[in-house]
A and B are shown apart, each in its own frame.
Chain A
Amino acid sequence: MAILVIAEHDNASLKLDTAKVVACAQAIGSDVDVLVAGHECDAVVEATTKLSGVRSVLVADAAVYANAFADNTSELIVGIASDYEHILAAATSHGKDILPRVSALLDVAQLSEVVEVVSPDTFVRPIYAGSAMATVQSLDDKKVMTVRSSAFDAVANDGAAVTVSIEKVSDSLSQFVSQSLTESERPELGAASVVVSGGRGLGSSDNFAILEQLADKLGGALGASRAAVDAGFVPNDLQVGQTGKIVAPDLYIAVGISGAIQHLAGMKDSKVIVAINKDPEAPIFQIADYGLEADLFEAVPQLLELI
């Protein structure tokens, strides 16, 4: 049976997460369709048809889908669910909002943050902030799951899927008021190959400027620990950890971060981890490939000079 992937986008561009979820779908089976629900999202539809291995792109273009509200989007998905055995979305704020609602309407359990496909009904997912990995077999006739995109490599853009439009629309009970997005020239945190993160050790919002310079020099994204977010140094969407973003870049540089379990849950699958901290006992050193016991205000400027 076929697999449905829910595309993630902002009506203007397709998020890279979708290409990673398609890769997960292809590890399950071959008939992969992608649903694009949105409004005036032609560019997104076009980008989706190019995803390698996608059979068809289902398009629900209506004003009521512009804000991807969970109540009506889940109705839309349930309306086409009979054709699919698997329904997948990225484990982002968008996917996490919508898919459990789909599961409940279909009366099936959901699997969250899948990191590995063992077989079409058996999957691996982390529990307890990544302190354990559970291999779970679904006994339901439909498998609804969110996928941790950092665990999969994006598919290429050499596809040529057909588009099918869906006319049926349903209204949402919610009303959109406003949105404030953090503007950034840097790569997206979840997709960056280099992430430079700061913690409480930075001391102030202004001091984050040196990490920004380092991130820019390495072409990377800026991240933060919860302590730095709670202290108001940076906006909360930069938070890396159990309750923030889960990242797995090639290089993760943790500066002034002690390494609480909840933070490690968000970055311990990075390929190379560097820790700069003045406390030699900081737990972050236990998982860092390269540790440097140093004052960050001396080490980071030196690092900037040498790379």
Chain B
Amino acid sequence: MKVLVPVKRVVDANVKVRVNADNTGVDTANLKMAINPFCEIAVEEAVRLKEAGVASEVVVVTVGPKAAQEQLRTAMALGADRGVHIETDEELVPLSIAKLLNAVQSKEEAQLIILGKQSIDGDNNQTGQMLAALGKMPQATFASEVKVEGGQLAITREIDGGLQSITLPLPAVVTADLRLNEPRYAKLPNIMKAKRKPLETLSIDDLGVSLKSHQKVLKVTPPAERKGGVMLASVAELVEKLKNEAKVI
């Protein structure tokens, strides 16, 4: 069974981003970039399926600038077999990304597609669901457990209020939640080996996909600042403030 894992290059999760001076976006120049944490979990799950003998090949794919090949190499160092890079410098909405991924899926015909549940830059949480819709596949979002049993998927999903277990036929789309697994670190020999793994570069035109313009970002502003608080000396003072100043208890 072939597994396809879309990954995204994003600003490292530990970096605090700032809105740029002309309020057109956030300043990402010279910031540390990394593979989106949820994508890392998706790659890990695919590699574990391969190690368990369930998956035969793990293909990672990304849509983005030339530099995004670094994240494909990272994914290959973690165990993916080969990479597909759809090169574009344009900022695309999740629907456009999903259309490109759907074109890759048409070529690859993977039985299972695992994505992260959201990217930590756009915080959209859309691409996996959209890809499933375009490919007319069932979906299991926010997965915390993935099993392949008798030709179908058994998934535990994190839902508001608890957990839900479902089964679905293949091919299917799964999006990974934080608790699905603990991703491994890439070992140096594997990083070296990853440099020799196949990486195919395609343009949007190569895939024959025509994209539309859907949204216009009018401005990006910093969130409302909270006014500075006070440090209190005792619990008694805290209770007094909450009762008489903030009046919340």
Contacts and interface: CB of A to CB of B under 8 A. Distances in A.
B139 A139 contact: no
A307 B177 CA distance: 38
B232 interface: yes
A245 B140 CA distance: 19
Contacts of B133: 74, 100-102, 104-105
A93 B159 contact: yes
Q: Is chain B's binding surface mostly helix, strand, loop or mixed?
A: mixed
A165 interface: no
Contacts of A113: 123
A69 B130 CA distance: 14
Residue of A126, A133, A229, A280 ringed by the most chain B CB atoms within 10 A: A133
A122 interface: yes
A139 B214 contact: yes
A291 B142 contact: no
Report the contact-size class of chain B (Cβ under 8 Å from the partner).
35 or more
Interface residues on A, range: 35 or more
A99 B94 CA distance: 13
**Chain A binding site: helix, strand, loop or mixed by DSSP?**
mixed
Interface in B192-243: 212-223, 226, 229-232, 234-236, 238-239, 241-242
Interface of A: 67, 69-71, 74, 92-94, 96-105, 107-113, 122, 126-140, 172-182, 190, 194, 218, 226, 229-230, 235-237, 242-243, 245, 250-251, 261-262, 268, 271-274, 280, 285, 287-294, 299, 302-303, 306-307
Given A97-B139, A131-B19, A289-B226, 8 more contacts: A101-B132, A107-B95, A130-B223, A179-B163, A236-B144, A237-B159, A261-B13, A292-B238
Interface of B: 11, 13-14, 16-19, 26, 93-95, 98, 117-118, 120-134, 137-142, 144, 154, 157-169, 177-179, 212-223, 226, 229-232, 234-236, 238-239, 241-242, 246, 248-249
